[in-house]
Structure 1
Amino acid sequence: MTAAEILSPLSAPLTTRAPSLETAGMTKEFGTFTALDGVSIKVSSGSFHALLGENGAGKSTLVKCIMGFYTPTRGSVLLDGREVKVETPRHARDLGIGMVYQHFTLVPCLTAAENLVISRADAPRVFDWKSEKSKLEDFMDRMPFRVRLDMPVSSLSAGEKQKLEILKLLYLEQRFLILDEPTSVLTPGEADEVLGLLGEMAQRGEVTVLMISHKFREVKAFCDSFSVLRRGQLTGSGDAQEATVAEMSRMMIGDTEIRARAERLKHNEKPTVLEIAGLTAVDEEGLAAVDRVNLKVKAGEIVGVAGVSGNGQSALVEVLAGQRQIQDGAIFIHGKDFEPKRSDFDRFKVFGLPEEPLKNATVPRMSVAENIAFRSYDKPPMASLGWWFSPGPMRAKAKELIERYRVKTTSPDSPIEALSGGNVQRAVLARELSGDVDVLIVANPCFGLDFASVAEIRSQIMEQRNKGAAVLLVSEDLDEILELSDRVAVMSGGTISYVAPIEKTDRNTIGAHMAGH
């Protein structure tokens, strides 16, 4: 290819139609580590293309090369069949390539209109707001969805903020849209609305969409094609409507053995084990983070707590774990007062798997064996005479649990921070589930994990339920809630707004309550 055929971003003409985009032999090396190895994908004009792969597969590295955050070691980007040099994110924008990130990039104190106008490269120092607002209204009239232009971004819902992020790209005339897990902050209804409208725009040839996602339901519902990365290499691609979920999963995980999920055993009516009564706690500003929450969990039951992030779920888990002070209300186990402290955790057989266990449930620099011993280091056979600690029994117990729970570690003496996320989860589960469990509290247990770890952990949770444990599952993954729960409770505005048996509700009803309707 001659130099004249390689377009510079600033000389490339902006297109008003949906472009195609290809990566050709895209390779990115970080020292001796190869994050991308000769990846070639093609996203056709006007298509809605899914980019699939587990954490660490290379998805983020690939889109960062496309967006100009990284300079590839080898390989190229082709836009409408012509090679382009994307040296910076601004160059990508000049070419009509835009990205919606997992976290919002809006200025909260400014209005939606102000956020749109200041995003322009040619934004003036002094705005003629009468003229700008008229142009923005004309722009909104041409868009498939709207947001309130005069409202501060801080007052918009998560769904409205996500819509505004997408509208910002369209306002900047970006026609190739990269969406990074775009529905993680949306209710099911909002997710379906946004993806459906973008799908319609793609069908009309107005935009091309490349979506990073781990939700097969959305891929099957909205995407027409897909590509799969594993360990930095392209392992498959095809028609998203013709390929089965099992086929796409196999491309993602290869020959990794996946544990079959434990079957849900039927129980006769069981007594209430965990009761949360009028529980109230405040946040750092003194406002109610948990607001008079009432909930009961029976033996042999999983109650899933669903909700959009930031509605009090994390605060509820912190209260139950003793990490946030109770302002009012009470917790009962088997009808008796429970205080979230170590003695009561032991007495009532309460165990848990908090969110981000490496941060919240381990001491990273201590060994795997030491972390596994946290619940039993002061009990026989690890301790005698109430104070004499014996490292031999601790290490022997750790080796047994490492094997039973299939924790992949070079040694029980390795620091737990050296383990992968999935193996940290397994090590914490080994510690928490190795004895009798009456109450199990888990929060987002599978976030960011590989397929094999997800299957293993969900099976462990179901097995505890089958053994008679009362399980409180707090998760922002509605698919996980629907798969595991016997009953679902929706948390909105710091309180429980809806409770129903899983067989008497559905995704749309749950989503409506998550949105506060």
Structure 2
Amino acid sequence: MSALAESSLPAPRAPSLTVAGMTKTFGRFTALDNVSLSVKAGSFHALLGENGAGKSTLVKCIMGFYSPDRGTLTLDGTPIEVKSPRDALAQGIGMVYQHFTLVPCLTAAENLVISRADTPAVIDWAREKKTLAAFMETMPFSVPLNAQVSSLSAGEKQKLEILKLLYLGQRFMILDEPTSVLTPGEADEMLGLLRGMTERGEITVLMISHKFREVKSFCDHFTVLRRGRLTGEGDAQGSSVAEMSRMMIGDTQVRERAVRAVVEKKPDVLDLAGIFAEDEQGLPAVHAINLKVKGGEVVGIAGVSGNGQSALVEVLSGQRPMTSGEIRVNGKEFRPRRGDFDRFKVFGLPEEPLKNATAPRMSVAENIAFRTFDKPPITRFGWWMSPRILRRHGEALIARYNVRTTSPDAPIEALSGGNVQRAVLARELSGDVDVLIVANPCFGLDFASVADIRSQIMEARNRGAAVLLVSEDLDEILELADRVAVMSGGTITYVAPIEETDRNIIGQHMAGH
């Protein structure tokens, strides 16, 4: 019998799930410490916590990827053992991952059929498509079954991932950051449909998320982990964002957000004129990019991942050649080379700075000195570099920018993600800045680091810098930007002052409408 239940059987109902005393260690590191979690049948439950809090470890124990050292799982009041993902499937527990697990070259129907454990060696497609059509009639949303997955939008792919779980009879769904690749409209539509299914008692959802707006809009309960321990739980509708944040970060002091000062706008400082660039296959990666940024202004570039934003940042940082176009700073041609970065006072924080903006095995102090090591007072006579002055320079910036490190001599790769970001910003913002280019500056960081780094970006803007902020976090752009530009299909399709637009309008342009 296929994973799709016969129509004569009653519809599957949403199960409850309880985790009791779950503990998981990796060597001397305790990833989960006596964690308990109760997800009621038919609920939409949020699992919150910062990076490293233990969320992924917990759901991997539930799914059977990890075997816990201690702890029990109960499904609908019955103790169960899940030693592998196949066991989870047999129990009706499924997971939608942050990145798609579909086969792009197959159709939606083919992806559904091959996901079954009982797929025959020779498939009767006439019969399968008839069964799939009947299945789709029972679903609150659909995707074109005969379309190749590669041709589907991100929203349709995410729907197909969910349909696959329902097709396999998995009524307890774990969603790992399910909206990270969706436009705001697609995200709200998908979560709204799932919320409707939970309210009808058809499924139970446990969602890992860092977006409080989605938690408040769609979830009914939440559980918070911090450093592998349970630190709070409650009613998502009755609890405030501040209360949930406090459970996540504890007594950590979070920096006040920088105030958006009223500054006199300077003339255009950064001018991107007709920028074209190709990808590794020689196909267009960005084309006809025209954008100007004034001094004392943040222009945020929004867009769904993969629409040319990363390639544009690589062009601006000198990591990808332009095939056509011109970059001008204060009216003069800028070439993305070290000499011009210095001469035109162009600074930046690229995506994944540990990989793209540091020498990981060199010390924190040495990395902070990359922009100044060959200038006085660190270097004298044009050739003699003073390690003592370099170290002192690093110590001063480490203190000023709150970089937490055991020593200025520690390798920068030993720092947490937030502290790597702080160290790079200490280097890039410590002098006079005319242009600041930042890409996804807060991805995966803790609350304190996010508040600190966003404040530093705003302070650079308040001092008169022209800031180009490329971010896949729309909330970040709405918080920081004076104007927003949307990239879709490798080009800019929409530009507007932030006060003349909103989340829905931006989302529509992100979707290509």
Do the two structures share a fold, i.e. TM-score over 0.5? yes
Question: Could you say which residue in structure 1 is the equivalent of 2:235?
Answer: 239
Q: Offset of 1:197 from its aligned partner? A: 0.1
Matching of residues 32-43 of structure 1 within 5 Å? 32-43=28-39
Q: TM-score, normalised by structure 1?
A: 0.97
Measure the CA separation in 1 of the matches of 2:30 and 2:160.
36
8 Å CA contact retained: 1:277, 1:293: yes
Moved more, 263-272 or 506-515: 263-272
Matching of residues 68-79 of structure 1 within 5 Å? 68-79=64-75
Measure the CA separation in 2 of the matches of 1:124 and 1:291.
47
Q: Which amino acid aligns with 1:41?
A: L
Structure 1 vs Structure 2 CA RMSD: 1.0
Question: Could you say which residue in structure 2 is the equivalent of 1:467?
Answer: 463
Question: Could you say which residue in structure 1 is the equivalent of 2:5?
Answer: none
Question: Could you say which residue in structure 2 is the equivalent of 1:367?
Answer: 363
Q: Offset of 1:14 from its aligned partner? A: 11
Deviations, residues 95-152 of structure 1 (Å, cap 9, x unaligned): 0000000111111111110000000011001111111111111111111111111111
Moved more, 58-67 or 157-166: 157-166
Q: Offset of 1:270 from its aligned partner? A: 2.4
| % identical equivalent positions | 75
8 Å CA contact retained: 1:14, 1:95: no
**Which consecutive unaligned segments of at least 5 residues does structure 1 have?**
1-12
Q: Quick check: 1:199 aligned with 2:195?
A: yes
Q: Which amino acid aligns with 2:206?
A: L
Q: Which amino acid aligns with 1:30?
A: F
Question: Could you say which residue in structure 1 is the equivalent of 2:284?
Answer: 288
Alignment counterpart, residue 453 of structure 2, candidates 454, 457, 477: 457
Question: Could you say which residue in structure 1 is the equivalent of 2:217?
Answer: 221
Q: Offset of 1:15 from its aligned partner? A: 8.4
Classify the secondary structure of the residue corresponding to 2:289. strand
Question: Could you say which residue in structure 1 is the equivalent of 2:6?
Answer: none
Alignment counterpart, residue 56 of structure 2, candidates 56, 60, 71: 60
- The 4+ residue runs of structure 1 with deviation greater than 3 A are none
Classify the secondary structure of the residue corresponding to 1:329. strand
Q: Quick check: 1:44 aligned with 2:64?
A: no
Q: Which amino acid aligns with 1:115?
A: N
Deviations, residues 291-337 of structure 1 (Å, cap 9, x unaligned): 11000000000000000000000000000000000100100111110
Classify the secondary structure of the residue corresponding to 1:304. strand
Measure the CA separation in 1 of the matches of 2:150 and 2:384.
55
Q: TM-score, normalised by structure 2?
A: 0.98
Classify the secondary structure of the residue corresponding to 2:45. strand
Q: Offset of 1:269 from its aligned partner? A: 3.7
Matching of residues 100-179 of structure 1 within 5 Å? 100-179=96-175
**Which consecutive unaligned segments of at least 5 residues does structure 2 have?**
1-8
Moved more, 157-166 or 319-328: 157-166
8 Å CA contact retained: 1:14, 1:94: no
Question: Could you say which residue in structure 2 is the equivalent of 1:416?
Answer: 412
Deviations, residues 163-193 of structure 1 (Å, cap 9, x unaligned): 1111100000100000000000000000000
Q: Quick check: 1:183 aligned with 2:179?
A: yes
Question: Could you say which residue in structure 2 is the equivalent of 1:339?
Answer: 335
Q: Quick check: 1:256 aligned with 2:252?
A: yes
Question: Could you say which residue in structure 2 is the equivalent of 1:91?
Answer: 87
How many aligned positions are there? 505
Measure the CA separation in 2 of the matches of 1:235 and 1:432.
37
8 Å CA contact retained: 2:265, 2:297: no
Moved more, 136-145 or 41-50: 136-145
Matching of residues 272-287 of structure 1 within 5 Å? 272-287=268-283
Q: Which amino acid aligns with 1:243?
A: S
Measure the CA separation in 2 of the matches of 1:426 and 1:15.
53
Q: Which amino acid aligns with 1:507?
A: R
Measure the CA separation in 1 of the matches of 2:502 and 2:461.
22
Q: Check 1:325–1:14 CA distance in 2 against 1; reply closer, same or farther (3 A cut).
A: farther
